[in-house]
Amino acid sequence: MENKTENRICQNCKMDFVIEPDDFGFYEKMKVPSPTFCPDCRFQRRLIFRNNRVFYKRECVLCSKSMLSLYSKDKGFTIYCYECWFSDKWDVMNYGRDYDFSVPFFEQFKALQKTVPRVNLYRDNFILSEYCNYGLDFKECYLLFGGGYNERVYFGNQILDSHDSLDIAFCEKVEFSYENFECMRANKLFFSRYSQDCVDSSYLIDCRNCMNCFGCVGLVNKQHCIFNEQYTKEEYANILKFMKLGSYKSHLENLKKVKELELKIPHRYARIYKSVNSDGDDLAEVRNTHYSFSSREAEDSKYLFFMRHKVKDCYDSSFQGFNSELAYELTNGFGGSNTAFGVRNSYNQDSYCNEECQNCLNIFGCEGLRKKQYCILNKQYTKEEYEELVPKIIKHMEEMPYIDQKGRIYKYGEFFPSELSPFAYNETIAQEYFPLDKKGAVEKGFSWKEAEVRNYKIDVENKDIPDNINEVTDEIADKVIACEHSGKCKDQCTEAFKVVPEEFKFYKRMNLPLPRLCPNCRHFQRINLRNPLKLWNRICMCNKTSHFHEEEKCVVEFKTSYAPDRPEIIYCEKCYQQEIY
C-alpha cells in the first residue's frame, strides 16, 4: 500500500509540517521511522552542534602545549591538540563500555562523550592559519571558518578556492575582493552579492559577467555601468574619480542607492541553475532536490544546506557532501554511505548515532573512532555479535526513550538531543540562523554561555575612526578600536577589534574605508543578507505585454524564498530571462 501525505505536529515548536510520499520512501530505504520534529527544528537542532568561531585558550592534556580550542574549561571535556589526537599515544577503544539496557541510549552516549578526548579544532593541513576552523588546505588565513583550498583569506565563512580576499562568505574562486556574499569567479569585486564572473566592480547584486560596473542590479554581460546606466569608458572613469570610494560616508550612501535600485529591478524567483525538478535557493546542478539551499551536485535529496560535490539520496544534512549517499540527519562531515544521526563523521558506512568517527564500517553510538568496524559505544564486537545486538538496542530506544528537560521524547530515528551538544546555544551557528537572546534560549531548553568580562583599553572610539582611508596611517594597526555595536547585539560581538597589518595594507591598496564593526558583527551582517531558508508559494508578478504571456498577466506559480510581504518584484524564470537577458 502506497504512503500518503501526512500532516504532523512538531513535538518541539508545535507547528504543523507535512511528510510526503517520497519522504516515506526515503525513510523506508534508510530503515528509520519518520521524524517528530519539523524541518526547521531539525535544522536548528543540527546547528547547535557546530561552533565555528568562539575560541578558548587551553592546554593539551597529553603534551601540555598551549592551544586554541572550541571547548571552554567549564564543559569538562578532555581536549588534545591536533597532533596528539591523531597520534598513537592513546587508544580510543580503552573508553569502550557494555550497553546497559536499564538506561536510555542517549544517557549512555552522553557519558561516553564526556570521557573520550576531543581534538581542539577541526582542520586539516593548515599553514600559518592558527585562528581558523573547519577547513582543508588553508594557507596564511585568519578568522576563516569552513571551506577549503584558500590562501590569504581573512574574515571568511564557507569559502572555496579563493585567495587574497577579506570579509567574504559562501564564495568560490574569488580573489582580491572584499565584502562579498554568495559570489563566484570574481576578481576585484567589492560590496556585492549573488554575482558571478564579475571583475573590477562594486556594489553589484545579481549580476553576471560584468566588468567595470558600479551600483548595478540584474545586469548581464555589461561594462561601464553606474546604477544600471550605460556610460562610455571615459565617462565611467571620470565619474568614479568623484565617488570618494575610500569614504565610509560615501559607502553608506552607495549602499542606500543600490538598495533603492534593487526594489525597482525584477528578481528571479530563485537562484537555481542547470537543475531539474528542484526547489530552494542558491542551487546548481541538482536534480529532484527539494527545500534545499546553498548546495551543488545533489540528486533525489531534500532539506539540504551547504551540501557539495556529488550528493545522492540525502535528507536533513548540512555542511556535508563529497560523495555522500543515503545520508540522514548528518552535519559537519564528509562522504559516507548509509549513515544517519551523526556529527563530524567522515567516510563511514552503515553507521548510526556516532560523533567524530572516520573511515568506519558498521558502528553504532561511537565517539572518536578511526578505521574500526562492528563497534558499539566504542567496544569491539564480532560481526555476529554486532548484528544481534544492534536490533535489540533500537528496540530498547523505542521502549525506553530519552526524555529531555522540556519533555521532548527521543526514540530511535531522532538526531542527538540538544542537551548532548558540547556547546552553549550562543556559541554555535544556530545563533546565526535562529537568533535568540538568553531568555528565549533558556525557555527552549538550550544552554547559554555568559559573555566573559573584557578589559579592553579602547584606543580609538568608533565615532573617531577617520572617514576616509586616505586619512589613516599605519599606526592604526596597533590600536584597539571600539565596535559600533558595543556588545549590545546578538552577533557574538567582541566589543572591540584590531585592524591587523595585512588587512590595513589591503584597505589602502584597494582604497576601501575602515570597517566600523568587529569581525563577528561583520560576519552576522553578511549572513543577514541571505533570504530566509524558507519557501513560500507565489505567482509571478509580471504583467508586461511583451513577454510570453502577452496581454494576460503571468500566472506561473513557483516556490520562492521571497516572502509575500517583501517589497521586491519577483518574476518566474521565463519572464526574468525575457526581461534581463
Task: Name, in order, each residue with C-beta under 8 angstroms of 548's C-beta and a sequence gap of 6 or more.
Answer: 574, 575, 578
What are the b/e assignments for 546-573, b being 16+ CB within 10 Å?
Answer: ebebeeeebebebbbbbeeebebbbbbe
DSSP 32-70: -PPPSS-HHHHHHHHHTT---S--EEEE-TTT--EEEES
User: What is the SS3 string spanning 329-390?
Assistant: EEECCECCEEEEEEECCECCEEEEEEECCECCEEEECCECCECCEEEECCEECCHHHHHHHH
DSSP 474-530: GGGGG--EE-TTTT-SSS---SEE---HHHHHHHHHHT-PPPSS-HHHHHHHHHTTS
Specify the pairing of strand 184-193 against strand 199-202: parallel
Residue among 193, 191, 194 nearest 202 (CA)? 191
How high is the mean pLDDT in each 10-residue block of the chain (581 residues)?
A: 83 97 96 97 98 95 97 94 96 98 98 97 94 96 96 97 98 98 97 98 98 98 98 97 94 97 96 97 97 97 95 96 94 95 97 98 98 98 98 98 97 97 96 94 95 85 96 92 92 93 96 96 94 97 90 94 97 93 73
* Contact (Cβ atoms closer than 8 angstroms) between residue 440 and residue 58: no
What are the b/e assignments for 201-230, b being 16+ CB within 10 Å?
Answer: bbbbbbbbebbbbbbbbbbeebbbbbebee
Q: Largest alpha-carbon pair distance within the chain?
A: 80
Q: How far apart are CA 225 and CA 228, in angstroms?
A: 6
Phi and psi at 173, nearest 5°, equal: 55, 55
Query: Within 10 A of 128 (CB to CB), how many other CB atoms are there?
Result: 12
| C-alpha dihedral (558, 563, 566, 569), degrees to nearest 10 | -10
Task: Mark out the alpha helices in 191-263 (DSSP H runs).
Answer: 233-241, 248-262
Query: Within 10 A of 170 (CB to CB), how many other CB atoms are there?
Result: 25
What are 44's three cell numbers?
A: 536548528
* Contact (Cβ atoms closer than 8 angstroms) between residue 204 and residue 218: no
Work out the angle between the directed axes of helices 383-399 and 105-115 (0-180°, nearest 10).
120
Q: How far apart are CA 438 and CA 278, in angstroms?
A: 37
Q: How far apart are CA 162 and CA 173, in angstroms?
A: 5
* Contact (Cβ atoms closer than 8 angstroms) between residue 181 and residue 194: yes
* Amino acid identity, position 414: E
Chain-centre distance of CA 564, in angstroms? 25
Quick one: pLDDT at residue 155? 97
* Contact (Cβ atoms closer than 8 angstroms) between residue 266 and residue 569: yes
Three-class secondary structure of residue 84 per DSSP: helix
Phi and psi at 93, nearest 5°, equal: -70, -15
Q: How far apart are CA 375 and CA 355, in angstroms?
A: 13
Q: How far apart are CA 335 and CA 136, in angstroms?
A: 14
DSSP 379-424: EE--HHHHHHHHHHHHHHHHHS-EE-TT--EE-TTSPPPGGG-SS-
What are 191's three cell numbers?
A: 560590496
What are 339's three cell numbers?
A: 549513515
User: What is the SS3 string spanning 293-325?
Assistant: EEEECEEEEEEEEEEECCEEEEEEEEEEECCEE
* Contact (Cβ atoms closer than 8 angstroms) between residue 289 and residue 321: no
Quick one: pLDDT at residue 455? 78
* Contact (Cβ atoms closer than 8 angstroms) between residue 112 and residue 420: no
Burial of 475 (0-12, 13-18, 19+ CB in 10 A): exposed
For residue 140, give Cα distances in angstroms to 144, 155, 183, 331: 10, 12, 22, 27
Residue among 377, 344, 376, 341 nearest 362 (CA)? 376
Quick one: pLDDT at residue 1? 41
